[in-house]
Chain A
Amino acid sequence: MQQFRQLRPVSKENIPLEQIHTMISFKFFEEFGRYLLLMKKSFVRPEKMSIYRKELLRQMIEIGVGSVGIVIIFSVFLGAVLTVQTAYQFTSPLLSKSIIGSIVTNSTIIEMAPTVTCLILAGKIGSSIASELGTMRISEQIDALEIMGINSAAYLVLPKVIAATIMIPIIIIIGAFLQILSGLVVGHVSNVVTATEFMQGSVQYFIPFTVTFAIIKATTFGFIISSVSAYLGYYTTGGALQVGNSATRAVVASCILILVFDYLLAELLL
């Protein structure tokens, strides 16, 4: 063993752990700095308002219409599952069934709709933004914009970030509504809890601030998904393989950041 260690050449694997830590944190700050610079370059007054307005509209439609299908399916099933499983946990005859409605409603508004749905949207929207920009980068379409004298970051990134930050909260509100509705209907149909009991619970323990909280979360997550994915796509280098990598990294990074900010916002606002 001793001998083996001596024979091993000095390679990357032998770098002491502290050094790797500094390398990672350096890399993180470097990336974060580049991300901030891209945001600074993107958030400027557009050169030609009419074109940007048109592009913003196009992105809003693409993000909105493109995501609404998956969110409907997801929300309907999640609401149903939530009701059935909550009911399964509350079998005691001492408890009012209406508590099921209260739990489903609150957990939907606080966590399921904004956070869990955004994790799904990170997969859908994040990968599409990153691969679109990545493809434009490697096929020199971004260079072509720059050559024309157009601020490519402002033209490509800004409309996407604004569109996602506006549309994702709207989608989330639709999702939350559907989820609760689905919980109510499924609970009633499967004889777990009647619609009246469910609604009673929903209303009785309803905390209005949770709605504000959910919208704040969805807006934050919308910004995170779009800006992080745009950043990773915009700075893709290489070829088709790297475009795929960027899309994957966009989804992973968005999901992790959503979870981190989910916690931070809960600490901060609740």
Chain B
Amino acid sequence: MIEIRDVRKAFGEREVLKGVSGMFETGKTSLIIGTSGSGKTVLMKCMVGLIKPTGGSVIYNHDVDFTLLDEEGRKEIRKQIGMLFQGTALFDSMSVEENILFPLNMFSDMSVKDKLNRVNFCLERVNLKGTNKLHPSELSGGMRKRVGIARAIVLNPKYLFCDEPNSGLDPQTSILIDELIHEITEEYNITTIVNTHDMNSVLGIGDYIIFLHQGLKYWEGNRHEVFASTVKEMNDFIFASRFLKEIKERSSGN
């Protein structure tokens, strides 16, 4: 599990995170939600050390403060982290298979055959069997995301970070990706953290949800408690969709 305490980040004068705390448990899918520009990506990057927070701590597994670690200590934790980037960050110069093999080649001492078996297992897990030799440029958006997930889980990570896994995808593909992440999390008991602004994800997979607004946590809870929120900023966010707004108005009208 991962705990964040009062994480702050300022770029020059501009404070993007103004002290965010939260607790992300093992085997659960935790979501960080909020409008674009609310600081979700910055928070996630602070948690994995791609951005150095200006204050606060990020605690892995009860006792390791990631922000205080040196380069070597970070590397050790990072070997247990898988991350799906918003733009997938697949290596353009490599095929799908080589992309997923890459972490294995770097960090495992398996035989070539075992590595290939592991790659094929992961590809099958994300329903992309047989795409081994394709290059990222030949894949659709949803397929790229799934390759990204396969690459992120190939080393059996303890922690999985997904930055907007379903941005730019159609609603049906989005739901498939969400379910995939949720299943993998439970199946392998991973601490999973997902950035999203998609209400389908919130209601579908949110075991624990943090609502960020202008760099502050305005609300936290789980997917069943979302509609009980009395926080105005949160409600503005949830009911931004015309569809939900209409349902709400109808139900309160009756």
Contact = CB atoms under 8 A, between A and B. Distances in A.
B29 to A, nearest CB: 19
A148 B105 CA distance: 12
Contacts of A150: 106
Nearest to A132: B93
A143 B92 contact: no
A149 B83 contact: no
Contacts of B91: 141, 144
Interface in B80-125: 81, 83, 85-87, 89-92, 102-103, 105-107
Contacts of B103: 148
Given A48-B105, A150-B106, A144 B78 contact: no
A149 B48 contact: no
A144 B85 contact: yes
Nearest to B71: A151
Interface residues of A, number: 15
Nearest to B81: A147
A130 to B, nearest CB: 16
Contacts of B102: 148
B75 interface: yes
A47 B106 contact: yes
Interface in A127-173: 135-136, 139-141, 143-144, 146-150
Contacts of A51: 105-106
B89 A143 contact: yes
B106 A147 contact: no
B154 to A, nearest CB: 10
B150 to A, nearest CB: 13
Interface string A29-56: 0000000000000000001100100000
A146 B89 contact: no
A135 B93 CA distance: 11
B79 interface: yes
Contacts of B81: 147, 149
A135 to B, nearest CB: 7
Contacts of B106: 47-48, 51, 148, 150
B231 interface: no
B89 A144 contact: yes
Nearest to B155: A148
A206 B89 CA distance: 54
A143 B50 CA distance: 7
A148 B50 CA distance: 11
Contacts of A147: 48, 50, 78, 81, 83
Interface in A58-103: none
5 contacts: A48-B105, A143-B50, A146-B78, A149-B76, A149-B107
The 9 closest A-B pairs by CB, nearest first: A149-B78, A140-B89, A144-B89, A149-B75, A149-B79, A140-B85, A147-B83, A141-B89, A143-B50
Given A47-B106, A140-B89, 5 more contacts: A141-B89, A146-B50, A148-B103, A149-B75, A150-B106
